[in-house]
Structure 1
């Protein structure tokens, strides 16, 4: 018996030893994989980038008049950093926020996306996070804080409720008629506001925002807001202005020293007021939509996006409805409107491409009042190529990224947990190595079977688990309104070429004084 116990002790010790050896070997093996065993990993401090100064770090670069990083010219700043330092650049020493790594390599971006965890973190938005989780936490309750500036289980639970509806192309195509109706209203609006020379006023981008809001409201809530009526509701313009204020201020609050954390700065007050306006609007109209839904029995193909989601989740809460509407209005109005404005400007500036597009549209839709279908949209290949090429050259959001949730290796450098890695899509998609003749507007490049492109070199809607939730509907809205405009009008732009800037999204710098000439 004693011998047996002794043998068992020896056996247990041997097993412990073998386990420890296996654990150490596995750890070393995994470390070697993570550390790219093809070469030594360089330290974080070796990453090139602009040097911080004592006390102010690199934050001083965003200070007006003395700094060399203007927020409205981040596109040019990013290009300059790439030219000066290469594929990876560190912006360290940012007061009140983590370091940023600017990444300009599509292969590395692909690696990050392909290996991301189930609940990836985007670079944080402390201002919006504070608004949702502290300032107005009574509204964003019960894990219903939405998807923007939300992470972890709360984000995963909310997204799971909505993505199976929102990311299905089949469901998106059910709203072709609703979006076409809004687009035809916009066509009529253009006819009313253009002058005797067929030129629209300098605030034309605001008119596109009205169409964008009307389209989103029809799809999400099945409500007609009348944004393009002569006597339009004042609330709708207030909402558009509030969304614009949000985007204008969020960059300032996030990149400059966060004085708002210490006291109520004017920018912070405007920011909160804008968000309160958006919350109030979405809460009101979500409640109207919910009441309307209870009163009317609809067929499946007549349901609003919101009704589909609530039906699948077997929920009937106005809070979920309002939060979803809030996030979609917050990121869907300005972004889609700016994309449409940019496509129209590019077509007006390239009459040869516009002519090809018009011929394609007339082959599919030869009659003005012909109803669009999913099949028509599938056949408009050149239209999709024009949109894709515009968003390659001038992505509405010029960068995206991830906050590292663990230590990792990028471009041979050790990147600590907590660092924010920003994918510089604008610079990448304008590089010759990814797109030959990259500075030219060439929709044909997307139709040429002999020309392949790196999948991660142009990502206007992001990628992966945190890809833009509304991309199917944004694609649909942009394609329908552009096709209806080009079907009826020939576009011209007869002024100096416009530069692009961040205002608050990437958009032409100057009024879109386009001519809409009846065909």
Structure 2
């Protein structure tokens, strides 16, 4: 495979007073962090670019114009060390950004039972100001804070975080992926067996259909059966636009908090249209279910939508939208990354297929909870794709108390970016980081031991009470899709893949994914 072109991430930072280099039990670690707050260097001494320098860097002609947030953060790490500040501008507060695993652990261990973070301000603004008439107190997990977030998360955790409810989705997800297999056969070139340059949209349609099955309890049909379904197609396009405008308004320098910018107006329109379409679709779903009940049809008692509706119909509506906003692009990118990693490493693909053949002796072998429970290499491949192609910079938290990070005092209320994803490609934490090695996540067959992975260096779904609530749903979808695709095809990618993604808020493709899909005969 082509060598990966990475910004150099390794440096030797001069440690300030040795703070943060603790070890031992958690209480001692926390005590040390608290004790050193009186000895730490002041907040104002944390390295940072000036505000004007920061603004100019992202403007046309600037050093980071059209660059990814990951490239920017990596460059700042090389320039400043393991901690620096992205200065607050235009109403946004400073973001203390740390790359230190010890700092990251300190942040998460001190976040409390109701972790807070600076929310996606543009979405929160829409829900609390523009459409307060609909949302009221139900602003969703993305925007909620403190006790209101805690109550909502407690209500939804049993639905999303426990496997029993997900088991009923294996069969319909398999059906959706069977459609995707047929779609690949329809669109690939008859001679080269390559799919068109816009194949990423097909992957996104697959993920939208899969998540829509959970969010709206219905099959959208955007893969093949009903590609021009007006409502579903509109919601599909809008859900992809939301993430792009989050980056424009909430991450890049923007004055939308003070004046009505074009990007702000566009975002408010996208969010309003999304809400209207989602309300219509959920109403149709409920009406259809009621007709089926009256006709005596059996309804899925473990439907995640039905269980959410039992908690609170309006919260179910908000949650269904957030599943699409947060899930479509992120999950589609992950699936493309897994396929790319396997295509560029055919020996790993062959090893995965050997595992799949044991539980899927025929291509139409049904996937269910029993057949999927023993797939260690499949899960290792997905974890390695998450590491090899990091999706975004990391996580954001608001400090509930004063805290010491890398020898500096960070006061209560500060926003901290735990930039753990930058560490994924650092040889200090992941030996041979430039190689796609699913084996690093498995026990060595000779020694029975796993490759040591430093704690708090691999957190693609965050950590603690506010970790991604959709993790199990993403696992289920990606595992099903990868299993189906690799069981049916040998996947190749015969183009340069040294820089396949760019990362703004989340990563997105930087090249066309013209995969070659060769049929497996048996």
Relative contact order, CA 8 A, sep 6+: which one is greater?
Answer: 2
Q: Size of the alignment, in residue pairs?
A: 482
Indicate the structure (1 or 2) with the bigger Cα radius of gyration: 1
Instruction: Note the C-alpha offset of 1:139.
Output: 1.4
Classify the secondary structure of the residue corresponding to 1:501. Answer: strand
Residue of structure 2 in register with 1:47 after alignment: 46
Residue of structure 2 in register with 1:407 after alignment: 402
2: distance between equivalents of 1:475 and 1:414? 38
Classify the secondary structure of the residue corresponding to 1:401. Answer: strand
Conserved 8 A contact 1:146-1:159: no
Equivalences for residues 301-312 of structure 1 within 5 A: 302-311=301-310
Residue of structure 2 in register with 1:16 after alignment: none
Classify the secondary structure of the residue corresponding to 1:497. Answer: coil
Q: Does 1:243 align with 2:239?
A: yes
Residue of structure 2 in register with 1:160 after alignment: 154
Residue of structure 1 in register with 2:270 after alignment: 274
Q: 1:320 to 1:428 in 2, by over 3 A?
A: same
Instruction: Note the C-alpha offset of 1:447.
Output: 0.6
1:174 to 158, 165, 168: 168
Q: What TM-score results when the alignment is normalised by the length of structure 1?
A: 0.88
Equivalences for residues 34-113 of structure 1 within 5 A: 34-37=33-36, 40-50=39-49, 52=50, 56=52, 58-65=54-61, 67-70=62-65, 72-113=67-108
Q: 1:72 to 1:182 in 2, by over 3 A?
A: farther
Measured against aligned partners, the alpha-carbon deviations of 1:45-76 in whole angstroms (never above 9, x if no partner) come to 221232x15xx3633322222x3234542211
Segment drifting more, 104-113 vs 363-372: 104-113
Instruction: Note the C-alpha offset of 1:440.
Output: 0.9
Conserved 8 A contact 1:61-1:69: yes
Equivalences for residues 329-478 of structure 1 within 5 A: 329-448=324-443, 449-478=449-478
Residue of structure 1 in register with 2:5 after alignment: none
Q: 1:494 to 1:333 in 2, by over 3 A?
A: same
Residue of structure 2 in register with 1:132 after alignment: 127
Instruction: Note the C-alpha offset of 1:299.
Output: 5.9
1: distance between equivalents of 2:396 and 2:226? 42
Task: Give 5+ residue unaligned stretches, structure 2.
Answer: 1-27, 444-448
Classify the secondary structure of the residue corresponding to 2:491. Answer: strand
Conserved 8 A contact 2:33-2:106: no
2:200 to 181, 205, 210: 205
Measured against aligned partners, the alpha-carbon deviations of 1:193-242 in whole angstroms (never above 9, x if no partner) come to 11112111111111111111111121233211111126421333322221
Instruction: Note the C-alpha offset of 1:257.
Output: 3.5
Residue of structure 1 in register with 2:485 after alignment: 485
Q: What TM-score results when the alignment is normalised by the length of structure 2?
A: 0.87
Conserved 8 A contact 1:145-1:155: no
Instruction: Note the C-alpha offset of 1:482.
Output: 0.5
Residue of structure 2 in register with 1:514 after alignment: 515
Segment drifting more, 86-95 vs 478-487: 86-95
Conserved 8 A contact 1:98-1:418: no
Conserved 8 A contact 1:179-1:219: no
2:290 to 281, 290, 294: 294
2:111 to 116, 140, 148: 116
Structure with the higher helix share, 1 or 2: 1
2: distance between equivalents of 1:375 and 1:70? 49
Conserved 8 A contact 2:199-2:513: yes
1: distance between equivalents of 2:151 and 2:298? 28
Instruction: Note the C-alpha offset of 1:340.
Output: 0.4
Segment drifting more, 354-363 vs 285-294: 285-294
2: distance between equivalents of 1:95 and 1:44? 21
1: distance between equivalents of 2:89 and 2:322? 28
Q: 1:355 to 1:363 in 2, by over 3 A?
A: same
Instruction: Note the C-alpha offset of 1:431.
Output: 1.4
Instruction: Indicate the RMSD between aligned Cα atoms, in angstroms.
Output: 2.3
Measured against aligned partners, the alpha-carbon deviations of 1:365-408 in whole angstroms (never above 9, x if no partner) come to 01111111213222111111110001012122332120223322
Q: Does 1:256 align with 2:252?
A: yes
2: distance between equivalents of 1:379 and 1:195? 35
1: distance between equivalents of 2:141 and 2:268? 18
2: distance between equivalents of 1:95 and 1:349? 43
Conserved 8 A contact 1:178-1:219: no
